[in-house]
Amino acid sequence: MKKIALLCCFVCLISLSSYSQILKPVTWSYAAKKTSPTTATIFIKATIDRGWHLYSQFVKDGGPVKTTFTFPAAKDFTLIGKTIEPKPVTKYEATFKMDVSYFENSVVFQQKVKLTGKNAVVKGSVEFMVCDDKQCLPPEQVDFSVPVK
pLDDT for the residue numbered 18: 43
Determine if the pTM surpasses 0.75.
Answer: yes
Give, in order, the Cα–Cα distances in Å from 147 to each of 80, 81, 107, 142: 17, 20, 21, 17
Cα separation, 100 vs 60, in Å, equals 8
The full set of domain ranges for the chain reads 24-147
- pLDDT of the residue at 20: 53
In a structure prediction context, what are the per-residue pLDDT tens digits for the chain, which is 149 residues long? 444 433 333 333 344 344 456 899 999 999 999 999 999 999 999 999 999 999 999 999 999 999 999 999 999 999 999 999 999 999 999 889 999 999 999 999 999 999 997 889 999 999 999 999 999 999 999 999 999 98
Nearest Cα residue to 127 out of 68, 70, 46, 65: 68
What's the topology of domain 24-147?
Immunoglobulin-like (2.60.40)
CA distance between the termini of the chain: 65
